[in-house]
Amino acid sequence: MAKDVLTEAPYLRAASAQSEASQNRSATRSESVAASARKPLKVCIIGLKCYDQMAGSPVLRYLGGIETHLALLAKGLQGDGCEVSLITYDHGQAACEVFDGVKVLKSYSPTGGIRRLRWFWRVARLWRAMKEADADIYLQTGAGDETGMVAAGCRVKFFPKRKFVFSLAHDMDCVRPIGATSRWEPQTLIYRFGIKRADLIISQTKTQQKNLEASMGFPSQVIRWTAKETEGSCGGPACSNQVLWVGRIVPEKRPHWLLEMARRCPNITFHVAGSANNSSEYAAKFLADAKTLPNMRIHGSLARPQLNDLFRSCSLLCCTSESEGFPVTFSEVWSCGMPIVTTFDPDGIIERHGLGRTVKTIDELVANIQSLPTSDAYEGISNACRKFYQENQTVEAVSHRFHKAFRELLGA
């Protein structure tokens, strides 16, 4: 018996040592996972038109919900513990600047490059900025050439590959870029190349989620966009004859409907905050016609303080769009208690939560903008707007949802 014990002792000691080593390796892996969880997530946002929003410029070169949302998201993710960089156009600024903790890198000039070689020049400069960001996650928003550029950069420029997240910005993104008329156009093909290679797709609404699945077969996660809370309250019934319209002067948003509404409602002043971004015959005609109407006020692109002043001096936001995504302006006016009278209702949110009135025709628009501000229902709708924003659309809440989605993607 003693011989058996002495014979087996070395094996027992070896087994014990092996078990201890295994436990040590397990502990090391646990410490590594914990350290990884504590490590800030590095996120790079491609927001080529966002420089003015990040720098706080008084006059914005580009007006749009995408730019507003991405600038707020960058700052929100930074506040939520991420290490954030944002890539913009080259407007002659320094190669790298920091605003509110967010590192802003420049890529290419929107007008630079040699003709015929311009696209490749832009890709090279965008990839250089992406490499400088050295992020875990690269987020690009809105269908276009940039979708394919960023997707390819995450595959070709980096080894091992980095995660590419694409976020829809409009209902049309479920099919093709806005302005494209065929799936065989180069811009559409490059976009489809990019979205096909996305590691995660984010839709603004359940409608987009459903349409993207039906059109391209891609699943997506729904996260609505955010907006900065407006200081103070909207004008309310005291400003019942002041109506606001915000957006780009383009056909799909149908600002020309305002001209007819202004003719029918001479007692109401219609404030238009926005521009075309790019000159067009449509925008020029609208602006010329608007000047002939005494109750139309064209404000152009406004900085945030001036836009807030309009929010506080109007009773309603009027939306005449055929289609949208999830307009940032909706959240902005809800935050100050302003109801919306609109021809577009994302996922039926306005009807379901009582945030305004959804209509289809100019006649219905006219009837509601005349009656709603002085109705008994106005105060209840205004309170519902504030509540919905506070519970769903704050910068902190939306940024945290994006952060969580990114963490889950890396974990998967």
Each residue of 327-337: pLDDT tens digit? 889 999 999 99
Q: Is the predicted pLDDT of residue 17 greater than 90, yes or no?
A: no
Q: What's the rounded Cα separation, in Å, for the pair 325 and 331?
A: 12
What pLDDT does residue 24 have? Answer: 52
**Mean pLDDT, residues 80-94 taken together:** 96
Q: Is the predicted pLDDT of residue 146 greater than 60, yes or no?
A: yes
Q: Is the predicted pLDDT of residue 277 greater than 50, yes or no?
A: yes
Give the lowest-confidence range in 19-28, 100-109, 310-319. Answer: 19-28
- By DSSP bridging, strand 102-106 and strand 96-99 are antiparallel
Q: How confident is the model at residue 226 (pLDDT cuts 50, 70, 90)?
A: confident
Beta strands per DSSP E along 39-169? 42-46, 83-88, 96-99, 102-106, 137-141, 163-167
Each residue of 335-347: pLDDT tens digit? 999 999 999 999 9
Q: 236-393 belongs to which CATH class?
A: alpha beta
Give the lowest-confidence range in 16-20, 226-230, 307-311. Answer: 16-20
Q: 42-226+395-411 belongs to which CATH class?
A: alpha beta
Here the tokens at position 121 are 């020049």
What SS3 state is found at 121? Answer: helix
Give the lowest-confidence range in 17-26, 188-197, 247-256, 352-361. Answer: 17-26
Q: How confident is the model at residue 11 (pLDDT cuts 50, 70, 90)?
A: very low
Q: Is the predicted pLDDT of residue 21 greater than 70, yes or no?
A: no
Question: Fold match between 42-226+395-411 and 236-393?
Answer: yes
What pLDDT does residue 164 have? Answer: 97
Decide: 76 and 228 in contact? Cβ < 8 Å: no
Q: Is the predicted pLDDT of residue 152 greater than 60, yes or no?
A: yes
What pLDDT does residue 20 have? Answer: 54
- Residue 374: C-alpha distances to residues 236, 265, 357 (Å): 9, 15, 14
What pLDDT does residue 359 have? Answer: 96
**Mean pLDDT, residues 182-205 taken together:** 90
More confident residue, 182 or 349: 349
What pLDDT does residue 7 have? Answer: 41
Per-chain mean pLDDT for the chain: 88
**Mean pLDDT, residues 78-97 taken together:** 96
Q: What's the rounded Cα separation, in Å, for the pair 215 and 411?
A: 28
What pLDDT does residue 209 have? Answer: 95
Give the lowest-confidence range in 116-125, 198-207, 264-273. Answer: 116-125
Backbone phi, psi, residue 244, to 5°: -110, 140
Decide: 268 and 295 in contact? Cβ < 8 Å: yes
Q: How confident is the model at residue 134 (pLDDT cuts 50, 70, 90)?
A: very high
Each residue of 29-73: pLDDT tens digit? 444 444 445 689 999 999 999 999 999 887 778 878 899 999 999
Q: Is the predicted pLDDT of residue 111 greater than 60, yes or no?
A: yes
Contacts of 243 (CB under 8 A, 6+ apart): 268, 269, 270, 271, 314, 315, 316, 317, 318, 369
Q: Is the predicted pLDDT of residue 210 greater than 50, yes or no?
A: yes
Here the tokens at position 109 are 């000039």
- By DSSP bridging, strand 200-203 and strand 163-167 are parallel
> How many Å from the N-terminal Cα to the C-terminal Cα in the chain?
54
What SS3 state is found at 297? Answer: strand
Q: What's the rounded Cα separation, in Å, for the pair 410 and 394?
A: 25
What pLDDT does residue 28 have? Answer: 45
Could you state, in order of their start, the residue ranges of all structural domains in the chain?
42-226+395-411, 236-393
How far is CA 402 from its chain centroid? 11
